[in-house]
Chains A and B, each alone.
Chain A
Amino acid sequence: MTAVVHGDDEHAHHPFLQHQFEDLGQQHEASILGMWMFLSTEILFFGGVLCAYWIYRVMYPQAWVLGGEQQNTLAGGINTIVLIISSLTMALAVRNAQLGSRRATVAMLIATLFFGSVFLGVKGFEYTMHWREGLFPGVHFTWHEVPELAPKVQLFMVFYWGLTGLHALHMVIGVGLLLWMIWRAWRGHFGPEYYGPVEVMGLYWHFVDIVWIFLFPFLYLIPHFGVHHG
């Protein structure tokens, strides 16, 4: 974000204070609230699909069990742990930015970037396997172990690809934002006075993490959740 310095340079303005704000405190609070509002939108965005997911889960419990059995629980579990670790490093990055230690901030952001990339790598691996197994909906869907339930299992896979794809898209955007934050932190933009962007980034990252915390049991662990097929 380019800083717009107020027209006349009578008083020394912080270089990152935007012209519409009175001071850095106001700017900070506005950006934090803005991210919270954005996340409220996101909750309804994911929540909309989850509502459809639950309707069909209640309608077709057996197909949902079969769909869940196609998932690699180990990969999903590892990814869950990886994301939780990345949330910790992200929180530490914010803390270090507040404390004004540049190197630690950069290091923690890079660690977050690393764990985020690991997550995406594992996800890519899972996607490849599903594609090979004919579990991509549409003309490529060739799964027919239980023929009479195949269309419903395909419906489950629509939600699987849709929800994890939407989540992965958020991760990719998060990785892009991280790269930007790393560059800014490296340039020494942040300190005890001004660390809003890192905190906003952190809120976003934790949100993406939380979404996964719900997706993991919904999509991977269903077979054991009290619905039985056969």
Chain B
Amino acid sequence: MTSVTYHDVRFLEPAKTRNYLNVDYGAFSWLFTKDHKRIGILYMFSISIMFILGGFFAMMMRLELLTPEGDLLTSDTYNKFFTLHGIIMIFFFLIPSIPAVLGNFILPIQLGAKDLAFPKLNLLSWYLYMIGAFVGLLVIILGGVDTGWTFYTPFSTQYSNMHVFGTTFGAFIVGFSSILTGLNFIVTIHRMRAPGLTWFRLPLFVWAMYATSLVQLLATPVLAITLVMLMIERVVHVGIFDPALGGDPLLYQHMFWFYSHPAVYIMILPAMGVASEVVAAFTRKKIFGYKFVAFSSLAIAFLGFLVWAHHMFVAGISVYSAMIFSFLSYFVAVPSAIKVFNWTATLYKGSVSWQTPMLYILGFIGLFTMGGVTGLFLAALGLDVHVTDTYFVVAHFHYIMVGGAVMAYFAGIHYWWPKITGRMYPEWWARLSALLVFAGFNLTFFPQFVLGYVGMPRRYHAYAPEFQVLNVMSTAGASILALGYALPLAYLLWSLRFGRKAGVNPWGAVGLEWTTNSPPPKDNFHETPVVTWDAYDYPAMLKAMGETQNV
């Protein structure tokens, strides 16, 4: 066994061998692949379609809201559009985004493993995703669904005459795909680490994925069983959640948010993992407070389970439990803040290079912080009563989900694109898109904070005329944002053919994935690597490469 260390990295040349892309060809070699890298690509392809579809519904809503009158879409159509936007973006795009695409591709390589522990299960989870998404999308063709992505009862079970069953069934199936991915990752992290790769040498992306997987594993089944009860109630007409028949609609909300609040952490924890990787790579420093960042992921995963009823403060829950939930909600801010402070401290006196992934991640840090701090507003009982169901809430969670999770997803795609495809993306265009996304995002969602604070309710297709100026700003921002998201689609495809060859380690980054070829061979490494260095040991690497370090 030879050990590949960072001393050799610079001298590794892409060997003229077969890689995972050209090892075999044809549709069947992809549809029945057990290679985690190919499955990651399959996911990337599927969720990109979902992102475009969800984005379409978002754009239509923003266009409708350009004027105070409901003139582009009827109220029914608008209801369907915000429902489909939510369901597609959350269940079919954000939940699988970073874990299933980047996690699938990068995690086993970062561990020095040949594959995930259960490759067939991994393929099965992609098929479950596809079946669930297909069932969910069939609903669009059949006429849509108008319950909102939360499927609140009793509207969803007794009154809505649309395709609630199909949509919930689709979400139910996709849930199992998510569970299996989480299971696979946990076992892989426990059992498949390369020799020498101890827990505290793991990249922070792995720690983040571990915490994410715990949430997927322990929260998703509760959503699944809740949706089953919803479907039973809708089909058999018994009163599990229907007050007219003795049920309690608040129980549905409790159980739904027991999953759906931690689901936010399924989206944001992997994003934090990407941020740690990128910040270290583009400041050429060790992450400040490695152990704090690692354990704060686990703390977020656990604390995230204790706060769900802050979505229900005005729904009629006990005031006493509301106080407890409000109090507990503040605690989640602590580990999140630890991460932000540690990234910031890493930037301090680092030699920061302004490559695209770093631009996205700097955007991520800022926007996530804003989303988090406004989250604290909402966790405060009194203020929450004032802004519940207004655009303030909409703006808050978009800062977390789009400003946080999607920005980090794009950062990760750009950061690992050379590894995935073996080609560099065009840097100038990519920087432009990062700036457009940042500007467009803020123009879209910052006005919504103001709108919500002055009282514009969410989920209506018409509004009072005095809200128009801010709405026009928001729609204008959405157009810029759409352009920012469309650009990568074009230039990344372009780079597949015309991009510069990447080489083994285009960023000069530390980590096992940067010691193997780009694209990696089918089994990831020609020989099992032996790890002798700590995560993010950039100082040692720079020294080994004979460069002088700015201190």
Contact = CB atoms under 8 A, between A and B. Distances in A.
Contacts of B188: 30
Contacts of B224: 45, 48
A186 interface: no
Give the most central of A22, A34, A55, A151: most B CB within 10 Å.
A34
A34 B119 CA distance: 12
A208 B160 CA distance: 37
A52 B255 contact: yes
B187 A51 contact: no
B205 to A, nearest CB: 20
A34 B222 contact: no
Interface string B180-201: 0001101110111000000000
A37 B217 CA distance: 8
Contacts of B219: 44
Interface stretch (A86-94, A152-160, A220-228): A152-160
Given A44-B218, A44-B221, A137-B238, A20 B246 contact: no
B245 A151 contact: yes
B248 interface: yes
A158 B248 contact: no
B239 to A, nearest CB: 6
A34 to B, nearest CB: 5
A59 B118 CA distance: 44
B240 A158 contact: yes
Interface string B245-262: 111100100010010000
Nearest to B524: A20
Q: How large is the interface on B (under 10, 10 to 19, 20 to 34, 35 or more residues)?
A: 35 or more
B116 interface: yes
Contact of A55 (B218, B228, B248): B248
Interface string B196-219: 000000000000000000000111
A60 B221 CA distance: 26
B114 A19 contact: yes
A138 interface: yes
B314 interface: no
Contacts of A34: 117-118, 183-184, 187
A40 B114 contact: no
Contacts of B240: 52, 155, 158
A38 B192 CA distance: 18
A151 B251 contact: no
A26 B251 CA distance: 43
Given A29-B191, A30-B187, A37-B183, A48 B255 contact: yes
A38 B183 CA distance: 7
Give the most central of B183, B219, B228, B232: most A CB within 10 Å.
B183
A47 B220 CA distance: 12
B226 interface: yes
Contacts of A72: none
B255 A33 contact: no
Contacts of B115: 19-20
B342 interface: no
A1 B120 CA distance: 9
Nearest to B221: A45
Given A20-B116, A152-B246, A30 B220 contact: no
Nearest to A2: B120
B237 interface: yes
B179 interface: yes
B20 to A, nearest CB: 14
Contacts of B4: none
Given A30-B117, A55-B248, A155-B246, A41 B191 contact: no
A21 to B, nearest CB: 8
The A interface is mostly helix, strand or loop, or mixed, namely: helix
B113 interface: yes
A26 B113 CA distance: 12
A157 to B, nearest CB: 9
Contacts of A19: 114-115, 523
Give the most central of A21, A29, A42, A52: most B CB within 10 Å.
A52
A15 interface: no
A29 to B, nearest CB: 6
A9 B467 CA distance: 72
Contacts of B113: 20
B225 interface: yes
A124 to B, nearest CB: 20
B551 interface: no
B225 A48 contact: yes
Interface string B382-396: 000000000000000
A181 to B, nearest CB: 18
B316 to A, nearest CB: 15
A83 to B, nearest CB: 22
Contacts of A44: 218-219, 221-222
A85 to B, nearest CB: 29
A49 interface: yes
A155 B238 contact: yes
B236 interface: yes
Contacts of A121: none
A52 B523 CA distance: 46
A162 interface: yes
Contacts of A29: 191
B9 interface: no
B229 interface: yes
Interface of A: 1, 18-22, 26, 29-30, 33-34, 37-38, 40-42, 44-49, 51-52, 55-56, 59-60, 137-139, 151-152, 154-155, 158, 162
10 contacts: A30-B190, A37-B183, A41-B218, A42-B221, A44-B222, A49-B225, A56-B248, A60-B246, A151-B245, A155-B238
Given A26-B192, A30-B187, 18 more contacts: A20-B192, A21-B117, A21-B192, A29-B191, A30-B192, A41-B217, A41-B221, A42-B221, A44-B218, A45-B222, A48-B222, A52-B251, A56-B246, A56-B247, A56-B248, A139-B237, A151-B246, A154-B238
